[in-house]
Structure 1
Amino acid sequence: MKPHRVSTFKRPTEATSFLESWNRRVEALNGFLYERITVRTSFGNTRVWAANKHLTSAPTIVFFPGARTCGLFWDMDNALLPFQETYRYYIVDVNGQPSLSDGQCPNVKTNDYGWWATEVLNGLGLEKTTVAGASLGGLICLKLCLESPRRVNKAILFNPAGIQPFSSSVRNLYYNLLPMVWPSQENLAAFLDTAIFCPPYHTVPPVYRHLISSYLLYALKNHKFQGDYPAPLSTQELRRLSTDIYLVLGEKDLLFPPQETIRLAEKHIPTLRGSRVLANTGHGIETSKEAIQVLYEYLRPKVTVRH
């Protein structure tokens, strides 16, 4: 399969050093070490962070992060602590994004992401698993469910792309474009406070906030993204979904407002099994421990869902 386009860092060796150091810092703060796995795919090598591979009979879950982030954004402030003793889980760095995976970009207008994600499951030896995705990661989960529905127990989507278009509101466009056009600490802080977090309710401790800021600023200044930006699946694709789908949405998400996501999902996804909207929560919902608790609840065999 031919890659759509290839994203690159301006100085690849320096970028690898920065990213390896950044991930080690997350692990050190959390007091938890991941096993590094490299999976070979049609889009180059994919870095996967594995926890508890020795728990061979434990339930499994695979996490896909959002655009312009990397896998361990899921574990800010030790957010995945509830899974560390009883789950075998894997966190994926997405190809084409500013991460330790290769830069070949799947084409968002085709089912490339679904094929790539299937290859990741193959490389991890997972015949069937639960998947969770944030933003772009949610779109990847949907593509995987279309490509390989029998491989997914359930898909839990956090403020997902793939159901509605990126919001064209002036406020959303302003705060998203601000650090992209003028990458600075001040502009990035405005973006984080307005679009990603919802302080003082939804935020992370200062040391993790600094890590997030340093990562994003480095990526904005040094990563040349060449792929597609997320786009919604067609109505026909949404209606073809046969996997159980759950939504976890932030009330204050500027990028994909929750009311529209729920409206379209209820109208077009026949296997939508539940949705939760978390008050005072922004787009970066995967950093919310309340959201992770909802994920934990959705993983139980029987779930009481409030619509």
Structure 2
Amino acid sequence: MIAEELQREYRRLLDRWPVPSEQLRVPTGQGETFVVACGPAGAPPLVLLHGAIANSASWMGDAAGLSERFRVYAVDVIGEAGLSAPARPPLASDAYAAWLDDVLDGLGVDRAAFAGISLGGWLALDYAIRRPDRVDRLVVLNPGGVGRQRWGAVLLSVVLLPFGRWGRRVAVGRALGAALPGPFMDYFLRLQAAFRPRREVLPVFGDAALRGIRAPLLAVLGGRDALLDAAGTRRRLEALVPHATVRFLPGAGHAVTGQTDDVLAFLTAQPPSARMPNVSP
């Protein structure tokens, strides 16, 4: 759980959510989970999962566009820098899938589309592998667990963080490969300084697990990702998940932004079985 001062700052950010929203608290086996919900109540559900040392404020730039077509549920991941319980069960277990079962059940959702960033992408892939009947479609932005982790940015952070705000800004900029909007960068820098990150290495999904993904999948990868091997992720997804759509952005880093329109187009496209057959004139 983040410190009270950072909680208050996070709540102030949430007050600027770009569309009308509800703040929900869902009981789960891992403790209470905080969710920001927006969009029409009867629209198809879309679950958003943020990355590590972050929270649902990560999705504020996408919420307005996504909520035009979906009932959006931005979930604060347990054990991360949001308002959910601090529980951190082992990643190499069924615990996070069981937690998401509880979240969906608490929201009254049987099946949903999922979108995840980095750690959130790992969680979305893990859930699609373990609970294929509950995942309609899947979008992952620089997901963990497919290509190898890179440690250069982490080691650079160890060197730079003792240099205070300047060091944190440089370290975060190198890690993300993009500048966040002013208020978000300031807040994110304070999180970096105050929040205790996970030490557990993300488990890598085996070939058989990736081959078992049934949901339509869109992966957006930044070729200059300093934290994850995007080229390796691309190779494995293209080889093992042949129905996946992989967008490789050579100049992008770990923070892939500006993808709302492409994500919406993928999530709302008709499945091949529902499309009209081509008819020759």
Regarding TM over 0.5, the answer is yes
Map Cα deviations across residues 262-303 of structure 1 (whole Å, 9 max, x no partner): 101122235x42011234322122xx12x2222122112249
Alignment of 1:1-307 (within 5 A): 15-19=3-7, 21-52=8-39, 55-75=40-60, 78-168=61-151, 171-178=152-159, 182=162, 184-198=164-178, 203-219=179-195, 223=196, 225=197, 228-270=200-242, 272-285=243-256, 288-289=257-258, 291-302=259-270
Distance 1:36 1:122 in 2: 17
Distance 2:133 2:163 in 1: 43
Change over 3 Å in CA distance of 1:177–1:261 after alignment to 2: farther
Residue correspondences, number: 272
Counterpart of 2:204 in structure 1: which amino acid? P
Map Cα deviations across residues 213-260 of structure 1 (whole Å, 9 max, x no partner): 2333232xxx3x566232211222222222222101112211113211
User: Which consecutive unaligned segments of at least 5 residues does structure 2 have?
Assistant: 273-281
Counterpart of 2:225 in structure 1: which amino acid? D
Check conservation: 2:47, 2:72, Cα contact below 8 A: yes
Counterpart of 1:25 in structure 2: which amino acid? R
User: Which consecutive unaligned segments of at least 5 residues does structure 1 have?
Assistant: 1-7, 10-14
Alpha-carbon distance, 1:30 to partner: 4.6
Of all paired residues, the percent bearing the same amino acid is: 24
Is the partner of 1:44 in helix, strand or coil?
coil
Map Cα deviations across residues 132-162 of structure 1 (whole Å, 9 max, x no partner): 0100101101111122111111110000001
Map Cα deviations across residues 44-102 of structure 1 (whole Å, 9 max, x no partner): 111111113xx232122100011111122121xx3322123332101111111122111
Check conservation: 1:195, 1:254, Cα contact below 8 A: yes
Change over 3 Å in CA distance of 1:112–1:30 after alignment to 2: closer
Change over 3 Å in CA distance of 1:163–1:173 after alignment to 2: same
- The two structures have a TM-score, normalised by structure 1, of 0.80
Point out 4+ residue stretches in structure 1 off by more than 6 angstroms.
Answer: none
Distance 1:267 1:205 in 2: 36
Check conservation: 2:147, 2:231, Cα contact below 8 A: no
Distance 2:251 2:9 in 1: 28
Check conservation: 2:33, 2:78, Cα contact below 8 A: yes
Change over 3 Å in CA distance of 1:59–1:266 after alignment to 2: same
Check conservation: 2:223, 2:253, Cα contact below 8 A: yes
- The two structures have a TM-score, normalised by structure 2, of 0.87
Check conservation: 1:250, 1:278, Cα contact below 8 A: yes
